[in-house]
Amino acid sequence: MLDKNGIAKRIAKEVKDGFYVNLGIGIPTLVANFVRDDIEVEFQSENGVLGMGPFPFEGEEDADIINAGKQTITTLPGASFFDSAMSFSMIRGQHVHLTILGAMEVAENGDIANWKIPGKMVKGMGGAMDLVASAENIIVAMMHTNRAGESKLLKKCSLPLTGVGCVKKIVTNMAVLEVTDQGFKLLERAPGVSVEDIKNATEGTLIINGDIPEMDI
């Protein structure tokens, strides 16, 4: 079973040379730590920066330079700042190659829910609806089950949707799965996790073809 860093490490393998990438808050943010350093990648944050760098050294924080999680950041050579409309032009206009975000639920048809729990959590969708409605390449980073042990990979989402039929790939603490017309296709299993474990933790239709390899991380 993977921890959050393990999930991020596996997703980092999906980040290719020349990609502009938008990372969501939570596990996706960790992906930047594991991207190979022999490839060129630029990270976009929807509040208006392309070419995000690491956190600043203590004492060098700037209130005017933050990421979408409102954390102080730095920029790398080649970085740029822009307004919110231009930022979402990059996103809706499909200039960003890869979007990695978290989810509360994913359905076997690629529907995603991650912005609202009626009566309980009302923080809002931020940029998530724009991202999932537009991106060609969306990877969801999440735990396979919720705190109550219930599957987050469902036949149908129970929570209000963020987007319809948009998720292509899911990396959880247990598995890598692809969303297909028939359901969740199991591609890889996490170290120490059996196909049987994944079956038990997946409510939606799971497609298992032949031997499922263990993740190489």
Q: Whose Cβ is closer to another protein: residue 85's or residue 196's?
A: 85
Measured on CA atoms in the order 22, 28, 29, 30, is the torsion positive or negative? Answer: negative
Q: Whose Cβ is closer to another protein: residue 55's or residue 214's?
A: 55
Kindly state whether residue 64 participates in binding another protein, applying the rule CB under 8 A.
yes
Kindly state whether residue 87 participates in binding another protein, applying the rule CB under 8 A.
yes
Using CB under 8 A, which of 54, 191, 192, 213 touches another protein?
54
Using CB under 8 A, which of 46, 105, 188, 203 touches another protein?
46
Q: Whose Cβ is closer to another protein: residue 72's or residue 205's?
A: 72
User: What does the DSSP assignment read for 116-179?
Assistant: -BTTTB----TTHHHHHHH-SSEEEE--SB-TTS-BSEESS--SPPSBSS---EEE-SSEEEEE
Which residue in 14, 40, 42, 46 is the catalytic one? 46
User: What does the DSSP assignment read for 179-195?
Assistant: EETTEEEEEEE-TT--H
Kindly state whether residue 146 participates in binding another protein, applying the rule CB under 8 A.
no
Q: Find all residues with CB under 8 Å of 7, minimum gap 6, and list them.
A: 27, 30, 141, 142, 171, 172, 173
The yes-or-no answer on residue 214 being catalytic is no
Kindly state whether residue 117 participates in binding another protein, applying the rule CB under 8 A.
no
Using CB under 8 A, which of 72, 137, 180, 205 touches another protein?
72
Q: Return the residue matching tokens 């596996």.
A: 10
Site residues for another protein per CB under 8 A = 45-49, 54-73, 81-85, 87-88, 91-92, 119, 122-130, 133-134, 160-164
Catalytic residues: 46
